């Protein structure tokens, strides 16, 4: 049976409404947005940040793969309960040092966020103690070709009912476009990651068409 098409597609008016009715952006988040653009640092878009914050709100132990200058980390840090912690992995110390200064500016205690300066798969491989878990939420936002391997590494480190959230899973339309003659390694890996998560019986998963596509998967264990 043909899928019934909705007459209204979410567009600019809806986005303006969401922006206008959402709580004001924290000044440190606004400052990071402003700093990222001229330096060409890819960060989560604001809509996805709001979704991520809502998902992080009762998650005490969070793991992030891909810190950059700390935008997504700060959305989660400001939302998680008092006493919550975030471990965030990024090999680029010049970025994570900048991140730390924004987190301090936002009043986040240093002990809330631990930075692991490493390539994520190498850190998992050498059993970096900070990555032991268990984690209540894992946010994935680093090398696209490594998404399937990140999932394999983090699943044994999840607590019951944990969430895996991943950004860029629609990759500006390239993941859905099956007509492309020569899809990139990134596109192929993201298709593999999405297919694996959506069909894994250990999870209930969906892709939210927010920003560049956010996959949200709840661990049923």
* Contact residues for ligand SAM, defined by CB under 6 A: 42-44, 65-66, 68, 71-72, 89-92, 95, 119-120, 141-143
Nearer to ligand SAM, 71 or 219 (CB): 71
**Contact (Cβ atoms closer than 8 angstroms) between residue 80 and residue 136:** no
Nearer to ligand SAM, 122 or 221 (CB): 122
Closest separation in Å from C-beta 221 to ligand SAM: 25
- Alpha-carbon distance of 62 to 73, in angstroms, equals 9
Closest separation in Å from C-beta 91 to ligand SAM: 5
Closest separation in Å from C-beta 6 to ligand SAM: 30
- Alpha-carbon distance of 132 to 48, in angstroms, equals 27
Closest separation in Å from C-beta 28 to ligand SAM: 12
Q: How far apart are the first and last CA of the chain?
A: 34
> Which tokens in the block code for residue 152?
């394999």
Nearer to ligand SAM, 11 or 38 (CB): 38
Nearer to ligand SAM, 140 or 162 (CB): 140
Closest separation in Å from C-beta 216 to ligand SAM: 16
> Which tokens in the block code for residue 108?
């986040």
Nearer to ligand SAM, 65 or 170 (CB): 65
- Alpha-carbon distance of 52 to 202, in angstroms, equals 21
**Residues ≥6 apart with Cβ < 8 Å to 67:** 73, 88, 89, 90, 95, 96, 99, 115
């Amino acid at each position: 049976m043909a899928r019934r098409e909705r007459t209204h597609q979410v567009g600019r008016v809806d986005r303006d409404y969401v922006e206008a009715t959402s709580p004001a952006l924290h000044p440190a988040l606004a400052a990071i947005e402003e700093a990222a653009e001229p330096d060409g640092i890819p960060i989560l878009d604001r809509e996805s940040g709001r979704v991520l914050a809502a998902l992080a709100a009762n998650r005490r132990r969070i793991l992030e793969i891909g810190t950059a200058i700390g935008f997504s980390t700060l959305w989660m840090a400001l939302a998680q309960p008092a006493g919550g912690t975030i471990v965030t992995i990024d090999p680029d110390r010049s970025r994570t040092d900048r991140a730390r200064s924004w987190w301090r500016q936002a009043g986040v205690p240093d002990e809330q966020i631990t930075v692991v300066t490493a390539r994520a798969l190498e850190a998992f491989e050498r059993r970096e103690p900070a990555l032991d878990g268990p984690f209540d939420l894992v946010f994935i936002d680093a090398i696209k070709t490594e998404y399937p391997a990140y999932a394999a590494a983090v699943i044994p480190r999840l607590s019951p009912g944990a969430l895996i959230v991943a950004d860029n899973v629609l990759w500006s339309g390239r993941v859905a476009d099956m007509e492309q003659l020569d899809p990139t390694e990134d596109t192929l890996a993201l298709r593999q990651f999405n297919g694996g998560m959506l069909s894994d019986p250990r999870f209930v998963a969906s892709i939210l068409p927010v920003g560049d596509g956010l996959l949200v998967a709840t661990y049923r264990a």
